[in-house]
Structure 1
C-alpha cells in the first residue's frame, strides 16, 4: 500500500460516518421542506432512522443541526469566492468578484437562507460552532488580505488596521445579504449592487492619507 493510499475506515468509523450523513441529509430535507422553526429534532431523528440520544452525539440542538448541514457549503463558499481574486486588481473589483458568490449562494433558497442568516447572529456555542467560527474568521482574513494587497498598490492609504477594515466589510456584507433576503428580488446582482455602493463609500475613507 502506497503512502498516499488512505487507510480504510474500520467498522465503527464507517457506522459513525453513515449516521452523520443520514442525520445531515434528514436535517437538510426537513429544514428545506418544512422550514427551520416547525421542524423538530425528534422528526429529524426519525427521518434519519437514529435515536434522539444518537442525534445529540452529532449536534447540540436544532440550531447546531442547521450548521451541520451548511458548514461544508460555507467553507467551500469562502474558498471558491476568493479564488477569483488577484493581487494586481483594484480592490473594488476583487470585492465585487468575491462577494458575488455569497449572494449567489444564499439566493439558491432564500427561505432556508433567511433561517441560516438569522441563526448565524448569535451562533457561538454548539458542536458545529467551532468550525463555523473558523470559516467566518477565514472569510475576514481573506478580506484583510485583499486590503493589504490594495495597500501595497497604493489604493489604501489610511492608517487603520487591515483586520478592522476587513471586519467592517464583512459586517456590511452580512447586513446587506439579510436585507436582500427580506426583499422580493430574486436576482443576486441586486443585493450585490447595493453592497458595492456602500463599499465604494468606504473606499473614499481608505484612500485618505
Structure 2
C-alpha cells in the first residue's frame, strides 16, 4: 500500500523554513508570508474561494493590501501559495521512492501509486482542492500573466512529467511494455487521464481517495490493455 500523504493542515506546519540563522529583515518577510498564507487558508475555508476577497485576507493577516500583493499577485496566487509547499514535498517523496523502486513492480501498480499520492493530498481538504484544480484549468484558457506562486505551480508540472517518464522509459528498456510508441506520448496519455479524472472526482460532495484511485486505476488499466479493436478500427 502507498504511504499516506499528509493532509494540508498537517503538512502546513512543516513547510516553513528554519528561521534561526536568517537576518531580521528576512525573518520579517518570512513571518509576513506565513501570516498571509494562514489567513488565506482560513478565509478560503470559511467563506469559500469564490466569495473570499484579497482585502479580507490582508486584514486577517494584519498586513496592508499592497503588502499582500508583494507576496501574491491575486487570489489565485494566494491559493497556489497554500498548496505549493505541500506539492513540492509530494514530488520529493515520489522522486526518492522511484530511486528505490524495483523494476519488476507492475506498471499499473507504479502508476496507481504515482497518481494516488496526489489523490490523497487533494482529499485532505476538498474545499481547497476544488478551486486549485479548477484554477489550473481556467488559467490555461487565459492570457493573464502569472503571479509568482502560480508560476511556481506550473514549473512543477515539468518535474511531474519527468518523474512519470522515468517510469515509462524504465519499463520500455526492460521490455515490459512496447516501444512502438514514444515514452512522451505514453506519459501524456496517462497525464490526460489523471487530469480529467481527478477533476471529475473532486466534484463529488465528499470525494473519497480510495474510490477515486480505484476508478483511475481502472481507466489506466483500460489504456494499458486497449479495447481490442477489429482490423481497421484503430488505424493511425
Output the TM-score relative to the length of structure 2: 0.78
Quote the Cα distance in structure 1 between the aligned partners of 2:23 and 2:204: 49
> In the TM superposition, what is the alpha-carbon distance from 1:187 to its structure 2 partner?
2.3
State the number of aligned residues: 200
Q: Is the contact between residue 87 and residue 146 of structure 1 (CA under 8 Å) also seen in structure 2?
A: no
* Residue 93 (structure 1) aligned to one of 90, 109, 129: 109
Contact 1:107 1:188 (8 Å CA) reproduced: yes
Q: Aligned pair 1:199/2:215, yes or no?
A: no
Q: Partners of 2:139 and 2:24 in 1: how far apart? A: 33
The structure with higher relative contact order (CA 8 Å, sep 6+) is 2
> What is the Cα deviation at residue 10 of structure 1?
1.7
Map Cα deviations across residues 37-57 of structure 1 (whole Å, 9 max, x no partner): 111000010000000000000
Structure 2 residue 125 is matched with structure 1 residue 105: no
Worse overlay, 193-202 or 41-50: 193-202
Further displaced range: 39-48 or 179-188 = 179-188
Give the corresponding residue for 1:3. Answer: none
Deviations 1:29-74 (A, max 9, x none): 1112211111100001000000000000011111111001111011
Q: Which residue of 1 aligns with 2:22?
A: 9
Aligned partners of 1:131 and 1:192: how far apart in 2?
26
Q: Offset of 1:184 from its aligned partner?
A: 4.1
Alignment counterpart, residue 161 of structure 2, candidates 131, 140, 144: 140
Counterpart for residue 91 of structure 2: 78
- For the 8 Å contact 2:76–2:150, the answer to whether it is kept is no
Q: How much does 1:28 deviate?
A: 0.9
What 5-or-longer segments of structure 1 have no aligned partner? 1-5
**Deviation (angstroms), 1:185:** 5.2
For residues 115 and 139 of structure 1, do their structure 2 counterparts lie closer, same or farther at Cα, with a shift above 3 Å needed? same
**Equivalent residue for 1:189, pick from 184, 190, 210:** 210
TM-score using structure 1 length? 0.88
**What secondary structure does 2:177 align onto?**
coil
**1:65-117: per-residue Cα shift (whole Å, max 9, x none)?**
10011110111122234544424112111111222211111111222211111
Q: Secondary structure at the match of 1:56?
A: helix
CA-based RMSD:
1.9
